[in-house]
Amino acid sequence: MKSAKKILALILAGVMALALLTGCGKATSLNRTIAEGMAEYYKSELAQLGGNNNNISVSYQVPELSRDIAPLFDENWITKGRNGDILNSNHMVNGKRVEDTLTDILSPYISATSAVTFQAADVTDVKTPFMEALNLTNSRITFDNNTQSIDPASVTSMKIAVTHKTVNGRTYALAVMIAES
């Protein structure tokens, strides 16, 4: 009888400990995890290379990425360049070049005090969110609007969103990053 009570007490203690642990933290999606990693990378880059000492606020909401861009994205957006894959500027989407389509979709964010970037990376064989974020930040499949004219030291907020799309058996991570000053 005593050993049965001990076993029951151990089982109950284990169940209670498990119940406590399941309440810890909050579950985040892979897309959010990658976006958070990219945000930390860009904040670090702005601080180191641009002298930005601002407390940069970050939002992970760019609904146009999953609603408008991802449905249009396919492997024709990418072309092989000498130094790797690049955005295919000649590809037509809805009768417009890719850059023009992206400019139209992301126009609410485009201003003299913002820089808008779209990036894509083939992540079919990538195993970790860290490597996906790294592939996206280093991607040459990119569209930039106004990134040269915004002062990195003046950036005060960012919006970053990530989504995934599978096309013909290949998985691509797509990201939009908006830096605002």
Better pLDDT: 40 or 1: 40
Kindly state whether residue 136 falls inside one of the protein's structural domains.
Answer: yes
Kindly state whether residue 5 falls inside one of the protein's structural domains.
Answer: no
Kindly state whether residue 63 falls inside one of the protein's structural domains.
Answer: yes
Strand partners, 143: 118
Kindly state whether residue 155 falls inside one of the protein's structural domains.
Answer: yes
Kindly state whether residue 158 falls inside one of the protein's structural domains.
Answer: yes
pLDDT tens digit sequence for 71-123: 999 999 988 777 777 888 889 998 999 999 999 999 999 887 888 989 998 89
Q: Give me 95's structure tokens.
A: 């009768």
Distance CA 158, CA 169 (A): 32
Kindly state whether residue 10 falls inside one of the protein's structural domains.
Answer: no
Token pair 């003046």 is found at 154
Average pLDDT over residues 55-65: 91
Return the top range by mean pLDDT from 9-13, 52-56, 83-87: 52-56
pLDDT tens digit sequence for 135-153: 888 887 888 876 667 888 8
Reduce the DSSP state of residue 54 to 3 states and report it: coil
Kindly state whether residue 1 falls inside one of the protein's structural domains.
Answer: no
- Whether 136 and 119 have beta carbons less than 8 Å apart is answered as yes
DSSP string, 81-146: ETTEEEE-TT-EETTEEHHHHHHHHTGGG-STTEEEEEEEEE-TT--SHHHHHHHHHT-SEEEEES
